[in-house]
Amino acid sequence: MKSKLIVMQALVAGMMTMHAAAQTPPLQHTPADLVDALHTTFGKHQARAVHTKGIILEGTFTPAKEAASVTKAFHLQHTNSKVTIRFSDFTGIPDIPDNAGPANPRGLAIRFTTPDGNFTDIVGHSFNGFPTANSDQFRELLLSIAASGPGAAKPTALESFLATHPLAKTFLTTQRTPASYATITYFGVNSFKFTNSKDKSFFVRYQFIPEGGESILTPEQIAKADSNYLTKEITERVKKHPFRFKLYAVIAAPEDKIEDPSIAWPNTRKRVFLGTIEVNRLAANTTTEDKALAFNPRNIPDGIETADPMLDFRAKAYPISVKERQ
């Protein structure tokens, strides 16, 4: 796995000198092809294909009164939910150091479970946008990384890909490294259609904002950080006191790209406060628990629909990856 990380670090270091142009047409591949591409890039193992290294915590979600104005979804009405949260590092490398550049963006996956046993999931990460417009292009990006090791001929496959996909280059070269999983904003980069009890609909994306504010490491702090500093920090933090995120629905304007997760919506968009997530304890974090816990952004209730085609594609890829963990 270390060789995979060395390749990733070398690629990130060399990306800042490239120039960008227009995007190329997407390819056509299956969800199984995407999962295979993840393994080609990061290595094959009986764990998650991506965001492999992580930690599970638990807490409570309290919906805000404003939430019912945009959706009739059961977990966003008046009843508190239990939440199960998994913070994670990017890549499919199980032992990736927390202070490695390719460990960004950090992942946040959350399951809301109401007292009657109903549940729904949200999956996000700590960057406002996805590297590509669709899953086919994401697969192409992954394979270009796998083919662009230190000994690859110039221009490498990755250099060629990024020359025609400027947003992917921005994604790979402008990440921020948090001081804690609890001190960075997370984004649900795919779009959903919310419908309220009056049948009025809104296109939205999720945003999780840390209640205590953001804290981002400097390059010097990153270099000195422990390879497991995020895991250690969040473990000690939650032992001392709970921490919280404010969950918002960012409302799309007519000109926003609903179907393209690589294009971030402006910060000026209206936000509706959906509720507060309080994280107050560690889960058991056994290997069995981690393998069994499968978040899927297509696990959605009445009042929420997918609006981005990538979500439906991802929903088919998740079970393939989950089956490989067993």
Nearest Cα neighbor of 203 from 261, 129, 152 is 261
State the maximum Cα–Cα separation within the chain, in Å, rounded to a whole number: 60
For residues 223-249, average pLDDT: 98
> Where is pLDDT greater, at 72 or 46?
72
Please tell me the distance from the alpha carbon of residue 110 to that of residue 276, in angstroms, as a whole number: 13
**Both ends of the chain: CA-CA distance in Å?**
20
Place of tokens 């056509």: 28
Model pTM?
A: 0.90
Residue 326's pLDDT is what? 59
Model confidence band, residue 311 (pLDDT cutoffs 50, 70, 90)? confident
Confidence of residue 47 (pLDDT cuts 50, 70, 90): confident
Span of 33-47, 123-137, 147-161, 259-273 with lowest mean pLDDT = 33-47
Whether the predicted pLDDT of 12 surpasses 90: no
What is the pLDDT at residue 1? 55
Residue bearing the bigger pLDDT, 181 or 42: 181
Least confident of 1-5, 197-201, 232-236, 304-308: 1-5
CA-closest candidate to residue 112, choices 230, 250, 274: 274
Is the pLDDT at 312 greater than 90, yes or no?
no
* pLDDT at residue number 320: 82
Q: Give the contacts of 325 (CB within 8 A, at least 6 positions apart).
A: 46, 47, 48, 291
Amino acid 27: pLDDT: 43
Which domains are seen in the chain, by residue range?
2-325 (2.40.180.10)
Q: What tokens appear for 81 in the block? A: 């939910």
81 Cβ contact partners less than 8 Å away, ≥ 6 residues apart = 60, 61, 63, 75, 112, 113, 114
Residue 15 pLDDT more than 60? no
Mean pLDDT of the residues in the chain: 90
Residue 81 has pLDDT above 60, yes or no: yes
* Interatomic CA distance for residues 203 and 136, integer angstroms: 24
Predicted confidence (pLDDT) at residue 11 exceeds the cutoff of 70: no
| Single-letter residue type at 132 | T
Is residue 157 within 8 Å of residue 141, measured between CB atoms? no
Q: How confident is the model at residue 323 (pLDDT cuts 50, 70, 90)?
A: confident
Q: How distant is the alpha carbon of residue 207 from its chain centre?
A: 11
In this prediction, residue 175 carries a pLDDT of 97
Tell me the DSSP string of 14-82: HGGG----PPPPP----HHHHHHHHHHHH---SS-SSS-SEEEEEEEEEE-GGGGGT---GGGSSS-EE
| pLDDT of amino acid 214 | 98
Band of residue 9 on the pLDDT scale cut at 50, 70, 90: low
Q: Would you give the distance in Å from CA 131 to the centre of its chain? A: 11
Contact 96/89 with Cβ under 8 angstroms? yes
How would you class 65 by CB atoms within 10 Å of its CB: exposed for 0-12, middle for 13-18, buried for 19 or more? exposed
Look at residue 20 in the predicted model and tell me its pLDDT. Answer: 34
Indicate if the pLDDT at residue 22 is higher than 70: no
Separation in Å, CA 168 to CA 180, 191, 262: 25, 19, 8
pLDDT value of position 4: 55
Side chain identity at 85, as an amino acid letter?
I
What is the model's pLDDT at position 8? 55
Cα 187 from Cα 228, distance rounded (Å): 23
Position 59 scores a pLDDT of 98
Whether 321 and 32 have beta carbons less than 8 Å apart is answered as no
